[in-house]
Amino acid sequence: MALQAGIKAPDFELPDEEGNLHRLSNYQGETVLLYFYPKDDTPGCTTEACNFRDDFSEYQQAGVTILGISPDSIASHTEFKTKHHLPFTLLADTDHQVAEQYGVWGVKKMFGNEYEGVYRTSFLIDPEGTIQEVFEKVNPKNHSEEVLALL
């Protein structure tokens, strides 16, 4: 089960698409949209990322930093970000430790097969580091609109 609103967001350290390390605590004083997604360059994940890209100026105006997290590699993130001109940071959680910490890793089913993976979930974190809103079972097509409506 995903972490709930009202609690302090757990700190973590992960590499971005260039191999630079990011800690959530480095964003203290900023509002952060931390969005977990299953896999680079798949249809739903591409739709979600490109909607964030298309709405990026609105997030900037609202003072929101977007951080995407998936279990893909740094190289995969680099390719995905370049191919789709994504203006925000993608973090590589290759051992899915952060996804587990946030309660968004577990058993999924597709075409009758069970496998472990990321539950598409986003966390809106306030400047003090508290989770303000949790978006579970995200619809990639309208998630950016949903977040902007809340902001």
Q: Which of 34, 45, 90, 98 is catalytic?
A: 45
The CA-CA-CA angle for residues 40, 73, 89, to 5°, reads 65
Alpha helices in 69-122 (DSSP H): 74-84, 97-101
Phi-psi region of 63 (alpha: psi -120 to 50; beta: other; left: phi over 0): left
At 95, list the tokens: 């051992």
Q: Rounded to an integer, what distance in angstroms lies between the CA atom of residue 87 and that of residue 25?
A: 21
Residue 50: active-site member: no
Instruction: Provide the annotated active-site residues.
Output: 45
